[in-house]
Chains A and B, each alone.
Chain A
Amino acid sequence: MGFVDSHILSLMTFLPILGAVVLLCVPKGKDDVIRWIAAVASFLPLVLAVKLWFAYDRTLAGVNVASQYQFVEHYAWIPSINVEYFLGADGISMPLLLLTALLSFLAVIGSFGITNKVKGYMALFLLLETGMMGVFASLDFFLFYVFWEVMLLPMYFLIGIWGGPRKEYAAIKFFLYTLAGSVLMLLVLLALYFNTTNPETGGHTFNLLHYMAQGTHNAWLKGFDVRVLMFLGLFIGFAIKVPLFPFHTWLPDAHVEAPTAISVILAGVLLKMGAYGLMRISFPIFPDVTRWFAMPMAVIGVVNIVYGALCALAQSDLKKMVAYSSVSHMGFVLLGMAALTPLGMAGASMQMFSHGLITAMLFFLVGVVYDRAHHRQIDGFGGLGAVVPIYTGFISFAFFASLGLPGLSGFIAEQMVFLGSFEAFRPIVIVAAIGIVFVAAFHLWSLQRVFLGPLNPKYATMEEINAREIFCLAPLGILVLAVGIWPMPILNLLNASAVRLVDLVKAVI
């Protein structure tokens, strides 16, 4: 077990791609074998994630202190330019690592219904999982960037080959948007490299923790204008991924066209990467600019909340509505972060985790109805509650979680964000609170149109949700409920790091 314990993050990152290699060797036509290999390859990281959960020391904060990171692996990779293979976990990355492992496994199970080119699909999916894990585990900026980009290719193909009617358009739009953001990040990354020194070796460095120690910055990098430009370069790169208004336009297309399981991953994990990038990279490296930019960020966050909700209200396509609800919910994350209070920061982390669970449920559920009816028009149904009661129960649960019903995880997260940010930005938070009304409105209104009222006779014989689908939904539902009632385990996980991050940003440099 020694090897597993000392390389647990590497294993979580690379087991999926190993599975992909194995699965590519399976001869054609054995689709079931391929499916099960993929399931095992994504189940093993989940097992390791559980191990991570129990082994993680919740008193250590991490963030900018290398010795407080856990499960660290640190090797030289390309010595001539000081690229390191540096993995580690702290309270910022832990919830997201767990979330990724869980959602990836469920998404593989949820993809068992894919019958077209199964081998390619599963191989690409596992490559995607490697990219996601790598992003959350990397503490070297170069490594982070490589993993960040590695996700683009499989995502492009997964949307482009297995997607809906406008898949080509959606796939390339996603690809171009994200690439545009990441080349900006690349430039900032290189500028950081040349303007910092590694205190241990005196050379340049890609180590994120060295960047966070402001003493490693040279005179040029201490100039405020330069820092603002670099912060904004990173911010745009991350904002595209979150996505923040006005960089969000790729999201509805990608989400709507992507196959169900990929929408789950897109909304459940990929969107978190942008916010994670801000927490892991932008905030601690540029604390002064973060303080200066806190108010604009809060405004953008609220615009996301309100604008996303209003757009969702206007949608006639159920999946598009759910997609816009993600825009709205990610606004809470930004608002909580921008408040620069421990409660707000923890709330933002909590919201990421909770939204990952809830939105995954929502996309799975939309996929279920789409598989049966082959459309998602909200007005095209009616009275489904009488035909598929169990399904209706699940979706009502998910909708109530999404609109923030007390007792479910979304409520906890949103309240933490509101409480954490109220003192800092009173008027803005009041606007955001009003936005909640719209959030509730689109959920309830669509629930009413699809499941209540007179039954649309076309769907009188609709098939009830099956066991495999329940298998995907139940763990998520249980977690949403558990976190909603007793959030302390998750809060303990992320609290120390949230406090440290806020201290770090608030410390005057």
Chain B
Amino acid sequence: MFLGNLASLRYFLPEFAVTATILLLVVLHVVTKSPRSTASGFLSLLGVGTAIFLAGITPTGAGRSIFEGMVAHDGFAVFFKVLTALATLVVIFMSMDSRDLAGRSQAEYYIFLLSTLLGMFLLSSATDIVMLYLSLELVSIPSYLLAGYLKGQEHSTEAAMKYVVFGATASGVMIYGFSILFGLTGSTQVAEIGRSLAAGKATLPMLLAAVMVAVGFGYKIAAVPFHMWSPDVYEGAPTPATAFFSIGPKAAGFAVLVRFYYTVFAAADPGTGLWRLTSAVDWPFLFAVLSALTMTVGNLVAIKQNNVKRLLAYSSIAHAGYMLMGFVLLSSAGIEAILFYLVVYLFMNLGAFYVVVVVSNTTRGEDISDFTGLGSRAPFAAVALSIFLFALTGIPPFSGFIGKVYLFAEVIHRGVYWLAVVAALNSVVSLYYYARIVRAMFLEEPKDASAIPVPAVSFAMLVLLAAPTLILGVYWEPVARIATDSVRMLAF
């Protein structure tokens, strides 16, 4: 039933592509005279593009367990691989545009970025708790380095330091939870653990394990109360890295969260598209409370932010809260809603960060006041940012609205009305702070009215990010189908 190591290799091509690119980058770094050349950026683009292509063409069928049960190769994993690789692709473009990174060694930066990507690939497909832990660390450690990449800048160093300390604590607690699970069941296979737990009724240790693991995953998706690191890290890290953190590791975190909890602490009811709890531990309720807290805290604190990066950090906390709603419903439609939301979130959030990069390249700042009068200084960028921000708010006809509709719909379908009401009210709150940026851009006159240049590549990328944000708001059937198919193939 498990595929052996050699037979598994042909399902591992995207990972090979990324690994090969990382190795080539190391070589390139050694042989090129100038470490600042853009060659490494282009090489990374090529590598990630290849990985997406390979992930897209490898057939998944009903899903299979490869490398002796370490990793799953199924639609769910492929969905997240393509998603995180797409995010990385955009972030590479963004990094090549960013003035934050100009004048620093490029190859190392891309090596860290691609290592994180490799970690995310593995994290979204790991089915063994040892593998899972290793891939989580493979995501985390290069992330710390990325956060601290602006050597010599206090903020950046602070960001990296906080990231490390919080990260180490969270993964320590998580691995404690893993050890309890191993002690209870004697297995490291998530599917096996799930079956053993369903048979025995050790409620208290299970509750302990469920909570401890939640700490580790909650930290990755920046759910309240494990979110403390994220505003400082988001603010201090180079902007492209921030954009990357806000979608990449978060998406992978959701992947592992769903796979782990739906395998270990729940069992699928075949044919109904529903799961049932296998124990008395009501973790969905626990996460529902976390979800409500996460969106509320994220939105309320965002109101007071003046730094756009920090504001977007809190906003991304709030969005994790929305997505958590889909996680607590024990239904395929709930997971589909998360997947759909991640797709639209990818475009609108990266788009917003892209504009921040373009603007701060000229203004050298990321405060809301730096965006004043952007409507006349760089009309295209301002319109694009407005589209992204209103999409994040969830207003039609933008894609974010459809994402929210899917989440809200399933919450209401499952009868968790209180959560739907909390989320709806949160949407209203979020309008206030997103509109603050729009207001600065269009409703206020700039002190410095000089034009802000938008380079051709940035322009093209903004168009490419805004187009899906608009189109998916009007016609989203294909993406909804992809999300449905990706859940249907979820194999444990």
Residues of A within 8 A of B (CB): 77-81, 145-146, 149-150, 152-153, 156-157, 160-161, 167-168, 171-172, 175-176, 179-180, 183-184, 186-187, 190-191, 193-194
With a CB–CB cut-off of 8 A, which chain A residues contact B395?
149, 152-153, 179
CB of B412, distance to nearest CB on chain A (Å): 5
Q: Are A149 and B396 in contact (CB under 8 A)?
A: yes
A175, B481: Cα distance in complex, Å: 33
With a CB–CB cut-off of 8 A, which chain B residues contact A78?
475-477, 480
13 pairs, A vs B, C-beta closer than 8 Å: A78-B475, A80-B484, A81-B480, A149-B395, A167-B443, A175-B435, A179-B427, A180-B428, A183-B425, A183-B428, A187-B420, A190-B405, A190-B412
With a CB–CB cut-off of 8 A, which chain A residues contact B484?
80
Q: Are A160 and B442 in contact (CB under 8 A)?
A: yes
Q: Are B477 and A157 in contact (CB under 8 A)?
A: no
With a CB–CB cut-off of 8 A, which chain A residues contact B481?
80
With a CB–CB cut-off of 8 A, which chain A residues contact B475?
77-78
- Residues 133-162 of B, flagged 1 when their CB comes within 8 A of A and 0 if not, give 000000000000000000000000000000
With A149-B395, A190-B409 already in contact, the answer to whether A160 and B390 are too (CB < 8 A) is no
Is B431 among interface residues, defined by CB-CB distance under 8 A? yes
A183, B427: Cα distance in complex, Å: 8
Q: Are B412 and A157 in contact (CB under 8 A)?
A: no
Which listed residue (A77, A146, A153, A186) contacts B408, Cβ 8 A? A186
Q: Are A149 and B405 in contact (CB under 8 A)?
A: no
Which listed residue (A80, A161, A193) contacts B443, Cβ 8 A? A161
A-B interface, 10 closest residue pairs, ranked by CB to CB distance from nearest: A183-B424, A146-B396, A149-B396, A190-B412, A160-B443, A194-B413, A180-B428, A190-B409, A179-B428, A168-B443
With a CB–CB cut-off of 8 A, which chain B residues contact A186?
405, 408, 424
Known: A176-B432, A187-B408. 15 other contacts (CB 8 A): A78-B477, A146-B401, A150-B397, A156-B435, A157-B442, A160-B439, A171-B439, A176-B431, A179-B427, A180-B428, A187-B412, A190-B405, A190-B420, A194-B409, A194-B413
Q: Are B409 and A193 in contact (CB under 8 A)?
A: yes
CB of A130, distance to nearest CB on chain B (Å): 10
With a CB–CB cut-off of 8 A, which chain A residues contact B228?
none
A190, B397: Cα distance in complex, Å: 17
Which listed residue (A145, A153, A191) contacts B412, Cβ 8 A? A191
With a CB–CB cut-off of 8 A, which chain A residues contact B428?
176, 179-180, 183
Is B421 among interface residues, defined by CB-CB distance under 8 A? yes
With a CB–CB cut-off of 8 A, which chain A residues contact B408?
186-187, 190
With a CB–CB cut-off of 8 A, which chain B residues contact A157?
442
- Residues 432-457 of B, flagged 1 when their CB comes within 8 A of A and 0 if not, give 10010001001110000000000000
A77, B425: Cα distance in complex, Å: 28
A171, B424: Cα distance in complex, Å: 21
Q: Are B424 and A187 in contact (CB under 8 A)?
A: yes
With a CB–CB cut-off of 8 A, which chain A residues contact B421?
187
A78, B477: Cα distance in complex, Å: 6
Residue of B nearest to A146 (CB): B396
Interface centre among A167, A190, A191 (most CB of B within 10 A): A190
A160, B424: Cα distance in complex, Å: 25
A183, B322: Cα distance in complex, Å: 15
A507, B480: Cα distance in complex, Å: 41
Q: Are A149 and B401 in contact (CB under 8 A)?
A: yes
CB of A481, distance to nearest CB on chain B (Å): 40
A149, B391: Cα distance in complex, Å: 12
A17, B400: Cα distance in complex, Å: 21
With a CB–CB cut-off of 8 A, which chain A residues contact B439?
160, 168, 171-172
- Which residues of chain B (350-401) have a CB below 8 Å from chain A? 390, 395-397, 401
Interface centre among A79, A150, A153, A167 (most CB of B within 10 A): A153
Residues of B within 8 A of A (CB): 390, 395-397, 401, 405, 408-409, 412-413, 417, 420-421, 424-425, 427-428, 431-432, 435, 439, 442-444, 475-477, 480-481, 484
With A78-B475, A153-B390, A183-B428 already in contact, the answer to whether A146 and B397 are too (CB < 8 A) is yes
Residue of A nearest to B430 (CB): A179
A152, B396: Cα distance in complex, Å: 9
Residue of A nearest to B426 (CB): A183
Residue of A nearest to B395 (CB): A149
With A78-B480, A80-B477, A157-B442 already in contact, the answer to whether A184 and B397 are too (CB < 8 A) is no
Q: Are B477 and A194 in contact (CB under 8 A)?
A: no
Residue of A nearest to B480 (CB): A80
CB of B22, distance to nearest CB on chain A (Å): 39
With a CB–CB cut-off of 8 A, which chain A residues contact B396?
145-146, 149-150
Q: Are B443 and A184 in contact (CB under 8 A)?
A: no
A146, B404: Cα distance in complex, Å: 13
With a CB–CB cut-off of 8 A, which chain A residues contact B477?
78-80
CB of A20, distance to nearest CB on chain B (Å): 13
With a CB–CB cut-off of 8 A, which chain A residues contact B413?
190, 194
With a CB–CB cut-off of 8 A, which chain B residues contact A193?
409
With a CB–CB cut-off of 8 A, which chain B residues contact A184?
424
With a CB–CB cut-off of 8 A, which chain B residues contact A77?
475
A168, B445: Cα distance in complex, Å: 12
A176, B434: Cα distance in complex, Å: 12
Residue of B nearest to A160 (CB): B443
Residue of B nearest to A157 (CB): B442
With a CB–CB cut-off of 8 A, which chain A residues contact B442?
157, 160-161
A149, B474: Cα distance in complex, Å: 13
With a CB–CB cut-off of 8 A, which chain A residues contact B432?
172, 176
Interface centre among A80, A156, A186 (most CB of B within 10 A): A186
A179, B435: Cα distance in complex, Å: 13
A194, B431: Cα distance in complex, Å: 27
A156, B427: Cα distance in complex, Å: 17
With a CB–CB cut-off of 8 A, which chain A residues contact B401?
146, 149
Interface centre among B401, B408, B412, B427 (most CB of A within 10 A): B412
Residue of A nearest to B484 (CB): A80
A254, B13: Cα distance in complex, Å: 59
CB of B419, distance to nearest CB on chain A (Å): 11
Q: Are B443 and A171 in contact (CB under 8 A)?
A: yes
A171, B435: Cα distance in complex, Å: 10
With A78-B477, A146-B397 already in contact, the answer to whether A194 and B427 are too (CB < 8 A) is no
Residue of B nearest to A188 (CB): B412
With a CB–CB cut-off of 8 A, which chain A residues contact B397?
146, 149-150
A443, B112: Cα distance in complex, Å: 72
CB of B478, distance to nearest CB on chain A (Å): 10
A184, B425: Cα distance in complex, Å: 8
Residue of B nearest to A180 (CB): B428
Which listed residue (A168, A179, A187, A191) contacts B431, Cβ 8 A? A179
With a CB–CB cut-off of 8 A, which chain B residues contact A150?
396-397
A280, B317: Cα distance in complex, Å: 39
A179, B475: Cα distance in complex, Å: 23
With a CB–CB cut-off of 8 A, which chain B residues contact A179?
395, 427-428, 431
With a CB–CB cut-off of 8 A, which chain B residues contact A175?
431, 435
A176, B439: Cα distance in complex, Å: 14
A145, B397: Cα distance in complex, Å: 10
With a CB–CB cut-off of 8 A, which chain B residues contact A153?
390, 395
CB of B463, distance to nearest CB on chain A (Å): 15
With a CB–CB cut-off of 8 A, which chain B residues contact A156?
435
A172, B434: Cα distance in complex, Å: 11
CB of A14, distance to nearest CB on chain B (Å): 12
Interface centre among A78, A146, A183 (most CB of B within 10 A): A183
CB of A133, distance to nearest CB on chain B (Å): 15
Residue of A nearest to B481 (CB): A80
A157, B401: Cα distance in complex, Å: 19
Residue of A nearest to B443 (CB): A160
Residue of B nearest to A229 (CB): B417
A31, B420: Cα distance in complex, Å: 46
A190, B417: Cα distance in complex, Å: 11
With a CB–CB cut-off of 8 A, which chain A residues contact B431?
175-176, 179
A145, B405: Cα distance in complex, Å: 11
A470, B268: Cα distance in complex, Å: 71
With a CB–CB cut-off of 8 A, which chain B residues contact A149?
395-397, 401
With a CB–CB cut-off of 8 A, which chain A residues contact B390?
153
